[in-house]
Structure 1
Amino acid sequence: MNYKHLILCITLAVAGFSCSAQITVKANDPHIQYMGRVDLQDTAAVLSWSGTTVKINFEGTGINYKMRDERGDNFYNILLDGKIIKKEQVTTDGKFEHEITGLNAGKHTLELFKRTEWAMGKTWFYGFTIDKGGKVLPATPAHKHKIEYFGDSISCGYAAEDSTGQDRGTAPYEDGYISYATLTARHFNADFHNTSKSGIGITVSWFPLIMPEMYDRLDATDSTSKWNFSKYTPDLVVINLFQNDSWIVEKPNNPQFKARFGTTKPKPEFIINAYRNFVATVRSKYPKAHIICILGSMDATQTGSPWPGYIQKAVDGLNDKNIYTHFILYKNTPGHPNVKEQQAMADDLEAFVAKNMNW
């Protein structure tokens, strides 16, 4: 065998090995598409917010991915080619790997959707490995429309899958994928960010944090981690807040009432001004966005409630033709919206958006 022949054989052998080797796609690889506020670090992507998503297009018969959870409380919907194939709880040991095999040869899309909010902690995603013979494909182009939500448990899908009537908001029963927020985004084929947390309000929450103090975080669990608003500019912002305020302002013995208001219930002017200031802050971040200030479908919109009126007065005071109000009727059932009630909210919001934004 002459020298040239030897070199040719080695070259072919290396080429053959390369074609058959597994392909590692690290978390910071541009072929991976993220949705939501994701903290992209050197070795991992940190997911905290409800609805944050990891997506990859690939060709091949199998793929696996590696993740680690902060507390083991987060659940993910695993979608293959647009269909949910599994609900998955991520472990804390750093050895969590899941392999999807036996796929038909050809092009596929895999998505990891965070069902649970940051009250359950955060998750580290380390990357994908595509099986031998496969290849990574270009990321899907961004959708035409972009939405951002600022909300509470209703937007998070709290207890949406608890069919027992116990209204349990623990991880197995929360599903942001079937919240009105995600349903509306999917209806319009829109990218979305869900900047929400159960129990939060604008003037007071069930814990020592209000939305004006949380809205600008990148890592939701870290008060020092700040989001760069230039990275994502929504066409539409939906604010669904005040449900929690409406309860706590009536509870003078609540620790958060005392911390925020002392011994005196806040007057309507204070509530209206706080809402107006938050909407003005959002407007300052997104000068060209349409903003819809909604409320519902829990008891803050029941007959006789003053809270829709507070929102209306706050918005009227901003004198901005691209800021709207829309109030979703009280569902008149106990607990948080279930699957059917979340869909009804989505139908309502979708009709309003279609009419006012011509989507």
Structure 2
Amino acid sequence: MAKHINEELQTITMSELEYLKIHGRTTANRTPVTLFWTGSAVELNVQGAELWVEVESAYDHLEPWISVVVNGVPVSRQMLTSGRGWLCIFRGMNPDAVKNVRIIKDVQAMSADPGCLLQFHAVRTDGVILPAEEKPYRIEFIGDSITSGEGAIGAKTEEDWVPMWFSALHNYTYMTAEALNAEYRVISQSGWGVLSSWDNNPQGNIPAYYEQVCGLLNGERNEQLGALEPHDFSTWQPDVVVVNLGSNDDGAFQSPAWTDPVTGQVYKQCLNEDGTYHEADLAKFEQAVQQFLTKLRKNNPQAHIVWAYGMLGASLLPAVYRAVDGYSKQTGDRLVSILQLPDTTEETMGARTHPGELSHRRAAEVLTAYIRKILK
């Protein structure tokens, strides 16, 4: 990251910026601004010729990546090395034109790396910062590796589990929000589900951490940053909540048992001898879906909840239907529905046998049309 910058530029800390827009769950602390989740961003409207940002990045083995979007168009993407320094976002541009800039966290919250960090300390510019436009709608996306954009970028042959193959932009979440002119947030984690992770670990479930800022992160620094604090839902209420979970719960039925190293307890979602789902285990999944819907409704009283599922097969779709139907009958909640998303094909496959950009685009088109009807 550059050390030498035009000294005539004005330096403004993030806490001093009157018109800074922050996307994604974070804490109230603005010195510096910490981004936790994928798709999180800092947004600025800059009237000037030049803009730099002071970024701090750290990691033990899973590095942060960012994408830069200027006037709605992605213009750069890069890995951040450890350290603190200045990044040039643009220079030599028309000083009178207003540039909308979003610097987006391209990778998910890394529960597997407590050292992973992305912070913004300050900006330098020769211009002025103006208010960013308020979007008419808000959407929250909740999911697993698909929603984290794992494999959405990169060749089909790529098999390494590295941050390079994650993308917040080649992603149905970004595409859907852009098409609907909506502000959005993402809560997602690769391998996790509603009841357990793909390997039957019951701690790998999104609902358990939904009410925290970013509770699935580990380590003392994340705790000090406020990741484990309760999230204040009153600060941002979505019009629509999209839940794309179930793929890893299905995986748990196909995977070996998981043994808790502390208690020695064994967890396993089982199949019958004929390959069908074991009824009692399927009931556990359905109960987890209903409990999560209850938690979502408590925290998002006005939102329409859409359970959107099927980008990597839809084996558990009948169970999701039963669970959602049961929840609606018990509660009288009519603002809940199910949408089957297009399955990923050989043609639309991306890296790491995950949905590629084409698959994300197809899902976004179906989801956009569906949400558009809801918002009307």
TM-score of the superposition, structure 1-length normalised?
0.85
Residue 39 (1) aligns with residue 27 (2): yes
Query: Over residues 131-168 of structure 1, what are the superposed CA-to-partner deviations in whole Å (9 max), with x where a residue is unaligned?
Result: 2xx2222x223211000011011111101112233354
- Per-residue deviation at 1:100? 2.5
Structure 2 match to 1:8: none
Answering whether residue 135 of structure 2 is matched by residue 135 of structure 1, we say: no
2:356 aligned with 1:338, yes or no?
yes
Deviation at residue 259 of structure 1 after TM alignment? 7.3
Is the CA contact 1:68–1:92 (under 8 Å) kept in the aligned structure 2?
yes
Cα distance in 2 for partners of 1:259, 1:336 equals 33
**Contact residue 151 and residue 240 of structure 1 kept, 8 A:** yes
The CA deviation string for residues 53-85 of structure 1, in whole angstroms up to 9 with x for no partner, is 101112111110011112171111112222222
RMSD (Å), alpha carbons: 2.3
Q: How does 1:3-42 map to 2 (within 5 A)?
A: 22-28=9-15, 29-42=17-30
User: Following TM superposition, by how much is the alpha carbon of 1:325 offset from its aligned partner in structure 2, in angstroms?
Assistant: 0.6
1:329 alignment partner AA: P
List gaps (5 residues or longer) in structure 2: 1-6, 271-279
Residue in structure 2 matched with residue 172 of structure 1 by the alignment: 164
Give the structure 2 partner of residue 214 of structure 1.
Answer: 209
Residue 289 (structure 2) aligns with = 275
> 1:79 pairs with 56, 65, 69, which one?
69
Name the one with the larger helix percent.
1
1:346–1:77: structure 2 CA closer, same or farther, 3 Å change rule?
same
Q: By how many angstroms is 1:98 displaced?
A: 2.8
* Number of equivalenced pairs: 331
Which structure 1 residue ranges, 5 or more long, are not aligned?
1-19
Kindly tell me: are residues 311 and 260 of structure 1, through their superposed partners in 2, closer, same or farther at Cα, counting changes over 3 Å? Answer: farther
Q: Give the CA deviation at 1:173.
A: 1.7
| Residues 1:262 and 2:267 aligned together | yes
| Residue 195 (str. 1) matches residue 200 (str. 2) | no
CA distance in 2, matches of 1:268, 1:23: 59
Deviation at 1:102, TM superposition (A): 0.8
Within a 5 Å distance, the mapping from 1:1-359 to structure 2 comes to: 22-28=9-15, 29-71=17-59, 73-98=63-88, 100-106=90-96, 107-119=98-110, 121-131=116-126, 134-137=127-130, 139-205=131-197, 206=199, 208-220=203-215, 221=217, 222=222, 224-255=228-259, 262=267, 265=270, 267-299=281-313, 301=314, 305=315, 307-319=316-328, 320-333=333-346, 335-358=353-376
* Deviating more after overlay: 114-123 vs 164-173: 164-173
Contact 1:161 1:175 in 2 (8 A): yes
**Superposition deviation, residue 197 in structure 1:** 1.0
CA distance in 1, matches of 2:243, 2:183: 16
* Deviation readout 1:177-226 (Å, 9 max, x if unpaired): 12111110110000001011111111111564311222122145246232
Structure 2 Cα separation of the partners of residues 115 and 264 of structure 1: 32
Name the TM-score, length of structure 2 as normaliser. Answer: 0.82
Q: Aligned pair in 2 of structure 1 residues 43, 85: CA closer, same or farther (>3 Å)?
A: same
Alignment CA distance shift 1:189-1:259 (3 Å) = farther
Contact between 1:237 and 1:290, CA under 8 Å: does it hold in 2? yes
